[in-house]
Amino acid sequence: MFWNIFKTNLKCFVRNRQLMFWSMAFPLILGTFFHLAFSGLASNEVFRRIPVAVVESPEFEADAIFRQVLETVSAEDRPDALLKVTYADREEAERRLAAGEVDGIIDYAPGLGMTVLQSGINQTILKGFLDDFLQTVKTAETVIAKDPLKALDVMADLNRRETYLRDAPVNPNVKNPYVTYFYTLIAMACLYGGFLGLRVVTHISADMSPHGMRVSVTPTHKMKLFVSCMAAAVAVQLVEITVLMIYLTGILGVDFGGQILSIAAACAAGSLCGAAFGAMIGCVVRGGEWAKTGVLVGSTMLLCYMAGMMSMHVRYEIARGAPAAALLNPANLLCDAFYSLYFGLGQARYGRNILLLLALTAAFSLIAYGKLRRQKYASL
């Protein structure tokens, strides 16, 4: 009997287009939008060589040092090359600048200087490059004039470039900082399991639907009905999350830093908790299915807001001012599990979040079943 109830409910969920749209298609669409938005941001952070035009003039030809420096910083075979240099006469250089083909013009007019049309990061870098060059040349000239014996030492110092800051990723496995947005998306999709949980209650409650009334007068134990239907709901939810993960990783190419198994375990716990939360809302809230759906959507949004899905500041304030509320919020626990993976906060914190999610799942399920068990209604 369990299998038949499970199978039938599975069919009902999968064939319900509206339910499938919100629980599966919507997160996929949202994921696509995230990808379009954030992949653009990530690609913008990759440094591209600054296009610059250098005006060929007798002064430029005479300045062997600057020409050598330019060749060095624009060499095609250097991965850290700063500039992409085009040599041209003044007129051609100005045309290229006006057309946006280059970000600046380097010229001797009469001293070394540059022309730009607007301010920006590339223009600032160009200015810094020229200032650095001029300062170095000036320093070298001064040293040679005052104490030629020290010139070689000073030149060596000037050519040495020390980096005092080092890039250190929070998690060496995570390449894309925008992956946190996709964690948020997965957490939201997990909590959307609430729609399936609510549907389960609709299927077996006499006051929610005519077929719920029919089911209520059958000799099937409410526990068997509840467990079978919830198993179907969670199965559908897990498949939906798996599809979402495959879509995000396989098609959109989102890199979760090789922690797929841990993320999958968190998703499973989140899906269970989401479905149980929906079932509890269905049993506890009075009113028709639309009213219960409204409460479910509202409460899910509130929990997500409190978990910092819209503003991290809210999450920190709640964690500081009301830590118990943070620990009872499934959305927060799910996010915290994902963040603990992302920031490498340790398995203990991740495990604590998963255990708390499972405890909340049990509590929500017990409340729901307690309401369903011997249900008689004052009116239908």
Instruction: Enumerate the β-bridge partners of residue 52.
Output: 85, 104
The nearer residue to another protein, 83 or 231, going by C-beta atoms, is 231
DSSP characters over 251-292 = IS----TT-HHHHHHHHHHHHHHHHHHHHHHHHHS-S-HHHH
> Between 150 and 214, whose beta carbon lies closer to another protein?
214
Token pair 């005006």 is found at 55
Residue from the set 1, 29, 170, 251 that interacts with another protein by CB under 8 A = 1
**Closer to another protein by Cβ: residue 10 or 53:** 10
Please state whether beta strands 50-55 and 83-88 pair in parallel, antiparallel, or not at all (unpaired).
parallel
> How many residues at the interface with another protein, by CB under 8 A?
30
| Residue number with CB closer to another protein (261 or 378) | 378
Rg (CA), the chain: 32
Q: Which of residues 216-255 bind another protein (CB under 8 A)?
A: 216-222
| Torsion angle defined by CA atoms of residues 223, 364, 292 and 189, in that order, rounded to the nearest 10 degrees | -110
Shortest reach from residue 5's CB to another protein, in Å:
7
Site string for another protein, 271-310 (x = CB under 8 A): ----------------------------------------
Min. distance of Cβ 377 from another protein in angstroms? 6
CB contact at 8 A, 272 and 357 = yes
- Segment 163-222, which members bind another protein (CB under 8 A)? 206, 209-211, 213-222
First to last CA, the chain: 28
By beta-carbon proximity to another protein, the closer residue of 127 and 371 is 371
- Asked if residues 35 and 254 have their Cβ atoms less than 8 Å apart, the reply is yes
Q: Does 379 bind another protein (CB under 8 A)?
A: yes
Site for another protein in 3-42 (CB under 8 A): 4-5, 8, 11-12, 15-16
Cα separation values, 26 from 43, 120, 185, 203, 235, Å: 26, 39, 10, 23, 18
By the 8 A CB rule, do 189 and 218 touch?
Answer: no
204 vs 273, beta carbon nearer another protein: 204
Q: Which residues bind to another protein, rule: CB under 8 A?
A: 1, 4-5, 8, 11-12, 15-16, 206, 209-211, 213-222, 373-380
